[in-house]
Chains A and B, each alone.
Chain A
Amino acid sequence: MILLDRVTKIYGKSSTPALDRVSLHVEPKEFVIVVGQSGAGKSTLLKLLTREERQTNGKIIIGGIDYDKLKDKNIPLLRRKIGVVFQDFKLLPNRTVFENVAFALEIVGMSSHEIKHTVPKVLDIVNLKGKENSMPRELSGGERQRVAIARAIVRQPKILIADEPTGNLDPKHAWDVIAVLEKINRFGTTVLLTTHNQEIVNKLKRRVVTIQRGKIVSDRAHASYKL
């Protein structure tokens, strides 16, 4: 599903690479946790996957798409196949909660009828019932995070990338979010989760990839995590 082969990313004229010959293979339906301190290269890794950045060297193939052969005009099609929960939410500030989630469906041309049917269901999953008409600025950090998650999963993507989705949440809500991720993983979505939260890593008992200074230093199934 996700294949990185000796991928290196060097920003500008920097001498130290942000990612250094990283190889990673994620099977379909797998649930992978990426851990590492801030600045280790997690965000760069995710940006390469969404094609926000291009690798300096190496090969990236996701869902059968070779990133070297991907034309600019096809980037939107790629991004529609990947659901992303951004660390800074990236909600549209001038649109309501409902419209933010609906946007993901509008751009693929789904009918209004289907959208009206689908969006409330997803908002229900992330516990945002009754907030449909709120603007993002009226929401708490945790609520915004959940809107972002709703938007990422509403298209039922084959791959879901979640960048610190529990970062702004209290433990109870954090577990709610993790429960949502596990649920859609059970439905067949490949999940790539980055987190700092040791407790979550240890309780999930999933494959853990640790990145340090741009390199993968460990890749273990059912691993626990210590900082």
Chain B
Amino acid sequence: MYRKWITFWRIVRTGVINFFRNASLAIAAMAVMVVTLSIILLSLVVNTTLSGTIKQITDKIDVSVYLKDEVTANERREFIQKLETLPNVASTKYLSKEEALEAYRQENINNPDLLTAINQTDNPLPATIRIKPKDLDRVQEIQTFLNQEENKVLQAEEPSYSGDRKEAIDKISHAANVLQRVGIAGIILFAVISVLIIFNTIQMAIFNRRDEISIMRLLGANTWYIRGPFVVETIMYGIISGLISILLIKSLFIASSGPLEASSLGLLDITYAQRYFNDHFWILLFAQIGIGVIIGAGSSIIATRRYLKFKAPKK
């Protein structure tokens, strides 16, 4: 037991000492890790922000059904009940004629001419049911329901998803899907490339020290006694690179918070990205370090394997 501890302690100590003695290699390997980890982190934040922004937009999309004035309260209640049993309906909201007018006034508060015009007439707006669909791709189901004869008679005019607006809804939901898929594919691609680059760098670092490994082998050292310090060393790369990359992104946000505060770059809402980053800081920190450690340790285990083989094939 004592021997095992002393061996473990020696492996860790040797790894730490080697880290400092091979400082130039360590810096090179960590530089690569910092860059790749930062890119993964950035693309993760960007993708989440994009999804968030898209969700914000699509949340505002609803289908408005306009009821005839002569529809009774009972008919209305029954109609809403039926609507809510549809699988794709997330929620409904009923606006009476008065509420619809009030909402219209609010929406056009900057257009006094329109407001004056509407005040001069008897309330021309129909009572409205706003339907929030669960899935924008399946709005068709709601449309079919609304087009049924018994439901059609209740409506004053065509529901508002039709025509131009329907096309807009379709386009946004399509764009949202594509963006999310591209984002996820991008992150996976970045991650794979990063792993390959880090693996190659560590493999090169170990290639430089292959003689050392074979000497230790000749002196009768166990596999893990030789490999252990390399793994410790690369775990240190992972921890330090993870820390640096997250601090790098953090300072990037701090630096950009002044000039870019509350501004939006197209679909990329900086404030949202910042809030997401700050809310998930600790998780992201541990994830970065975790990824760094796993990639580092994995690479060194694989890279040392070939030099640890007893090359003694018979014949």
Q: Which residues does A use to contact B, with CB under 8 Å?
A: 10, 50-56, 72, 75-80, 84, 86, 90-94, 103-104, 106-109, 111-112, 151
- Residue B312 lies at the interface, judged by CB distance under 8 Å to chain A: yes
Is A93 a contact partner of B10 (Cβ separation < 8 A)? no
B21, B22, B215, B225: which contacts A90 (Cβ < 8 A)?
A: B215
Is B3 a contact partner of A51 (Cβ separation < 8 A)? no
Q: Which residues does B use to contact A, with CB under 8 Å?
A: 2-3, 6-7, 10, 18, 21-22, 209, 211-212, 215-222, 225, 310-315
> Residues of A contacting B211 with CB < 8 Å?
93
Chain A binding surface, main DSSP class: loop
Apart from A56-B315, A75-B312, A90-B215, 15 more pairs, CB < 8 Å: A51-B310, A52-B218, A52-B311, A54-B313, A75-B220, A76-B217, A76-B221, A79-B220, A86-B218, A91-B215, A94-B18, A94-B22, A94-B209, A94-B212, A106-B10
Complex-state Cα separation, A104 to B216, whole angstroms: 9
Complex-state Cα separation, A72 to B217, whole angstroms: 12
B3, B21, B315: which contacts A94 (Cβ < 8 A)?
A: B21
Is B310 a contact partner of A103 (Cβ separation < 8 A)? no
Complex-state Cα separation, A91 to B211, whole angstroms: 10
CB proximity of B26 to chain A, nearest CB, Å: 12
Complex-state Cα separation, A92 to B17, whole angstroms: 14
Is A92 a contact partner of B312 (Cβ separation < 8 A)? no
Is A107 a contact partner of B312 (Cβ separation < 8 A)? no
> Residues of A contacting B6 with CB < 8 Å?
109, 111-112
> Residues of B contacting A79 with CB < 8 Å?
217-220
Q: A52-B312, A109-B3, A112-B6 are in contact. Are A90 and B218 (CB under 8 A)?
A: yes
Q: A94-B212, A109-B7 are in contact. Are A50 and B21 (CB under 8 A)?
A: no
Is A92 a contact partner of B215 (Cβ separation < 8 A)? yes
Is B216 a contact partner of A92 (Cβ separation < 8 A)? yes
> What are the 6 closest A-B residue pairs judged by CB atoms, nearest first?
A79-B220, A80-B220, A109-B3, A107-B221, A54-B312, A76-B220
